[in-house]
Chains A and B, each alone.
Chain A
Amino acid sequence: MTFSFRLRKKRVNRSFMGSFSLFILLAIFGAFMILPLIYAINNAFKPLDEIFMFPPTLFVRNPTMNNFIDLINLLGNSWVPFSRYIFNTVFITGMGIIGHVLLASAAAYPLAKHKFPGQKLMFTVVVLSLMFTPAVTAIPTYMIMSWLGLIDSYWAVIIPAFAYSLGLYLMKQFMEQIPDVLLEAAKIDGASEYRIFWTIVMPNVKPAWLTLIILLFQILWGSDGNGFIYSEQLKSLHFAANQIVQGGIARAGAAAAVALILMSVPITLFVFSQSRIIETMATSGMKD
């Protein structure tokens, strides 16, 4: 299944002044978006006397790895090693993503391609759930977690991520693009619905997998445990980062280093999957 993107042709109706002023607008706001990140990246490599220099500089002059060494020492002295925080975040992110892609795809297939009683209602509820944030349900969710005995375990963060509704929504919209003839042909050959789902639908929606992966990655990678995790050895990298940042001036260097680690991974992931994600987003629209 391919989407033919329109090749940029020179169109008429383009005034030079218009292009120029739009370009300036883009440049100014682009700078606003990217400068804080550039500042943070540079801070991670600044020696302490440069971080505390007046006037402050955007770019590093004498780059050093000291901040990273500080960070490792700082966390090496705490009884939970730094690698443990990384493992926790990677485990939560990985499990959450695998479960979500599988469950959301399985649910999206019948919603997109079958007709059955309750279908419309289910999809409407999913769309409605895009209209509020988890903050609304925080308290009952905590109660449900404690009934299920999931408090203070990875699963309290992982399992709700399986049922993240934006992922199901995007997957369903994308699956609607699969030509029906493809599915009909398989049915005539005697394939079961599960087989069709696994061998025909899933390979055809690879761009949407990547999109779900990056959306979930963004949420889970930045998660601090949502208040469900108390044990220090189960806490996430982001939680550790917050503690370092709260250490104030003495830890400014280590805080900059941890910020760089936190942001470099999702940004790299996005760089490599950008075109696939945009392909998926093309079907994201709400058609009444």
Chain B
Amino acid sequence: MSEKQQSGVNKKMSRRNFLAAGGAAVAADALIIASVPAPLAAQASAPARYPESRGYLVYDSKKCIGCTACMLSCSLTHYGYQSLSLARIQIMQDSFGKFPNDLKISPCRQCKYPVCVTSCPVGAVYVDEANGNVRRIDSKKCVGCKTCIKMCPQQPHRTIWNHIEKKSSKCDLCVDTPHWNEKGGPGGKQACVETCPMKALKFVAEMPDQKETDGYDVNLRNNHWLNLGLVDNSKVIPPRQAAEAAGDKTTKINGNAE
């Protein structure tokens, strides 16, 4: 990745200089306190500092079955092994919980105002103009200070700590998947989308509604889903059952099995 391909707005500080300035962890904390409010304030007054990403992951949290296959494919294609902790999309479940609050999905939002980019003290987080403006982390530059993780405004944070490499990571829409035979990124394929057996993840080119916290959580279900008896409102009658109630006997309901 050349410097030209990165957004030029980040502070340019080498790993050596940064560490020499007092150590990554200490410096990171200091940076959070001292420098972060300024970029955040700047966003409010000058919102269009970065070109928008030309790709986003949206999801249907009511369609997700929680198999975590998206997480495993994410770590597999990026790292060559499987791990939930290293996955750049997280599925969190409470088996005892009440639908729909029993499950949460948290992919990176490819934010319009990417705090991870603005807050990185070494310029490792950048907007990849050569790949659809995807917000990415250059692991060679990352010094492992975790600033991007601490500054991610989402909960849970979408920048992921790789405890093995001691680096931050984040969703790159599969731009860099050395362990997959497919081309990723905007215009390509995403491992999580391709793997999801429920088609509960989708790549879209248009930016989802940024004003709503759940603007990325969309309805990807059709009548076939309703016919499984999976409704999100008790007043909904699946088309199949409605047809039966109307006297259409062409479909049969068979007995129970064990």
Say if A and B assemble together: no
Interface residues of B (CB under 8 A from A): none
Interface residues of A (CB under 8 A from B): none
